[in-house]
Amino acid sequence: MKKVITYGTFDLLHVGHINLLRRAKALGDYLIVVLSTDEFNRGKHKEAYYSYENRKTILEAIRYVDEVIPETCWEQKISDVVDNQVDIFVMGNDWEGKFDFLKEYCEVVYLPRTEGISTTQIKDDLHK
């Protein structure tokens, strides 16, 4: 079984998130989503609209997602990959090169983002 892992906040779920999850799942048999906790987001000076528990529930309902685990710090990626026997690490291409250090442990794939949509854009549009 080929395992794939990806990370994110997945707040205000939109078609870009679904596209990323669908394409990530297509690379393997089992998709693990590592979801930023509320505490981790606060440490990044970022606030999600929905709580961690609500975002987790939403992600677990998506057919492409097999498992959701918490992201509590930047440094956990190597242990997540090793402990979960991950074959492929996937992130959006706006992170290109930032996670190449994981190539020692698994394949690293940067997928193109869906153009014209982002959580930041949605939040900005709502504040207008």
What is the set of active-site residues? 44, 46
The CA-atom distances, in angstroms, between 72 and each of 8, 16, 83, 97, 122 are 11, 24, 15, 22, 25
Q: 29 exposed, middle or buried (CB, 10 Å; 0-12, 13-18, 19+)?
A: exposed
Tokens 């549009």 correspond to 125
69 has which bridge partners?
Answer: 34
DSSP helix/strand/coil, 108:
strand
User: Going along the chain, which residue ranges are E strands?
Assistant: 3-8, 30-36, 67-71, 88-92, 107-111
